[in-house]
Copies of this chain bind each other. A is one copy, B any other.
């Protein structure tokens, strides 16, 4: 990662070309609010544009009524500033948008980059907490102001969806396979791409999103939809019925008949008799056809017609035929109905097949569930009991439906070494002035105890020394801590000239 490389000092400030451009080519210096330019002009006009300013980027409250946030988006911010430079056509657009501004201002804009800017940040993927800056940005006030909106736009959603993914991982538990399926419901195309990237950062195993897989090396997953199942009219449609065995040693000339034979055997099996009658033949054709295309990775969506009366028996017939040819079917996906009940019934069916036909391990065939899953529904499934191995999660994950925005802000805390504050009648909105240093203090068992902020020039906390930690606004919230380990939270990711 570029950000990591920078933290290791591999890339010098202003080096430019060494750091890749932002992943989304739409992320340019014009991706900002107009007022950043009108302010830049007013600073320039007043001769204040080079005043050295320090801004904190932080949030006031963790999302989803939770106690933590996971920081995402830093690498893209560094890519952005490393390549920050206005193109001539962008300057021309600004000239037309701000027709009363003097020419000298646009010459100034044409000249700027971020070589005078320094960025300190907590590493991406870290658990972070309210009020402690995720990033500290120092530089000429006019330039740093231009970074406000793009930085917030790159950090707010990234951190929100990373946090959401981490919460889904916590509720699903470590052994479950978590798949991000949200591209179609995301807030636009790079909402989808960012969701895939940051869900993976937050603890998901894979995505359905091919573009994200390519861009970020995330494992990609997917098999077929309901449309595939309903596109088949019947088994007659399958022309090429031959399937070679897994080891290539023999060939079944009529895999369709093999499947049909297995379906009859399942129907006649004593422990399954009466549990289903005639299964849907277009579904059987679709499953068989899919198995012929992907004998090594057969996974079937079983709820197009009826899960227990058609989808699961049809799947098992195909899976047992594949088993005859040396292939192991992957499993099924449930996309509607009572997922707890259906997964349990499906598991029983699989176990009965294992017992009836002596296919070792068939009972453990994978069950994936999807359909509007979220933290609450997974928690409810856990409480009811279920047999789901993998969860495919879309809408609620990627749109962060439970809370669709994180409120990171970007506040001036110091200018020309003078502390600055924004007051508010709402105490939670008062900014904390001064350039800061931030530390995470760890206790005896190696667990973090508290994050603290100090002024830039205050002594840092020392291992074994008692420190009084005070809440910035609530007098009664204070505690003495004796840290066993002290970690400085913000590292330099963009050193500027110095």
Contacts from A to B (Cβ < 8 Å): 22-28, 30-39, 41-43, 45-48, 51, 53, 55, 90, 93-94, 97, 100-101, 141, 145, 148-150, 152-154, 156-158, 160-161, 181, 183-194, 208-211, 213-214, 220-228, 230-233, 237-240, 289-290, 292-294, 296-297, 304-306, 336-337, 395, 399-401, 404-408, 410-412, 415, 418, 420-426, 429
By beta carbon, the residue of chain B nearest A194 is B188
The smallest C-beta distance from A302 to any residue of chain B, in angstroms, reads: 13
Taking A26-B26, A35-B224, A93-B214 as given, write out 20 further A-B residue pairs in contact, using a Cβ cutoff of 8 Å, ordered by the A residue number. Answer: A24-B190, A30-B211, A32-B210, A32-B211, A35-B208, A41-B293, A42-B290, A42-B294, A46-B240, A47-B240, A90-B214, A154-B189, A160-B187, A185-B405, A185-B406, A185-B407, A187-B399, A230-B412, A230-B420, A404-B404
The smallest C-beta distance from A88 to any residue of chain B, in angstroms, reads: 13
| A25-B25, A184-B156, A424-B336 given; A42·B194 CB < 8 A | no
By beta carbon, the residue of chain B nearest A152 is B184
By beta carbon, the residue of chain B nearest A144 is B227
The smallest C-beta distance from A389 to any residue of chain B, in angstroms, reads: 18
Contact B239 A47, beta carbon cutoff 8 Å: yes
The smallest C-beta distance from A330 to any residue of chain B, in angstroms, reads: 12
CA distance A348 to B400 in the complex (A): 42
Contact A208 B407, beta carbon cutoff 8 Å: no
18 sample A-B contacts, Cβ–Cβ < 8 Å, listed by A number: A27-B189, A32-B183, A34-B208, A39-B225, A51-B231, A90-B214, A97-B220, A153-B192, A185-B407, A187-B188, A188-B190, A188-B191, A189-B190, A230-B420, A304-B423, A305-B423, A401-B404, A401-B405
Q: Which residues of chain B come closer than 8 Å to A26, judged between CB atoms?
A: 23-26, 189-190, 193, 211
CA distance A289 to B425 in the complex (A): 26
Contact A48 B237, beta carbon cutoff 8 Å: yes
Contact A211 B293, beta carbon cutoff 8 Å: no
The smallest C-beta distance from A45 to any residue of chain B, in angstroms, reads: 4
A46 CB contact (under 8 Å) in B208, B221, B289: B289
By beta carbon, the residue of chain B nearest A55 is B227
| A183-B149, A188-B188, A223-B35 given; A336·B100 CB < 8 A | no
Q: Which residues of chain B come closer than 8 Å to A190, judged between CB atoms?
A: 24, 26, 188-191
Contact B292 A31, beta carbon cutoff 8 Å: no
CA distance A43 to B306 in the complex (A): 23
The smallest C-beta distance from A81 to any residue of chain B, in angstroms, reads: 15
The smallest C-beta distance from A149 to any residue of chain B, in angstroms, reads: 5
CA distance A148 to B227 in the complex (A): 11
Q: Which residues of chain B come closer than 8 Å to A37, judged between CB atoms?
A: 210, 222
The smallest C-beta distance from A142 to any residue of chain B, in angstroms, reads: 10
Contact B194 A227, beta carbon cutoff 8 Å: no
CA distance A190 to B150 in the complex (A): 11
The winner among A225, A289, A411, A429 for most chain B CB atoms within 10 A is A225
Q: Which residues of chain B come closer than 8 Å to A429, judged between CB atoms?
A: 336
| A93-B214, A214-B93 given; A231·B141 CB < 8 A | yes
Contact A187 B191, beta carbon cutoff 8 Å: yes
Contact B189 A31, beta carbon cutoff 8 Å: yes
Q: Which residues of chain B come closer than 8 Å to A410, judged between CB atoms?
A: 227
Q: Which residues of chain B come closer than 8 Å to A43, judged between CB atoms?
A: 228, 231
In the A-B complex, the 10 residue pairs with the smallest Cβ-Cβ separation, listed nearest first, are: A34-B222, A35-B222, A152-B184, A399-B404, A187-B187, A42-B293, A227-B412, A33-B208, A404-B404, A45-B293
CA distance A220 to B38 in the complex (A): 12
Contact B231 A48, beta carbon cutoff 8 Å: yes
Contact A222 B33, beta carbon cutoff 8 Å: yes
Q: Which residues of chain B come closer than 8 Å to A94, judged between CB atoms?
A: 210
Contact B183 A31, beta carbon cutoff 8 Å: yes
Q: Which residues of chain B come closer than 8 Å to A227, judged between CB atoms?
A: 39, 55, 145, 148, 410-412, 422
By beta carbon, the residue of chain B nearest A406 is B185
Contact A46 B425, beta carbon cutoff 8 Å: no
Contact B222 A38, beta carbon cutoff 8 Å: yes
Contact B55 A422, beta carbon cutoff 8 Å: no
A220 CB contact (under 8 Å) in B34, B145, B184: B34
Q: Which residues of chain B come closer than 8 Å to A150, judged between CB atoms?
A: 189
Q: Which residues of chain B come closer than 8 Å to A294, judged between CB atoms?
A: 38, 41-42, 100
Contact A42 B289, beta carbon cutoff 8 Å: yes
Contact A46 B185, beta carbon cutoff 8 Å: no
A404 CB contact (under 8 Å) in B100, B187, B221: B187
Q: Which residues of chain B come closer than 8 Å to A33, judged between CB atoms?
A: 181, 183-184, 208-210, 222
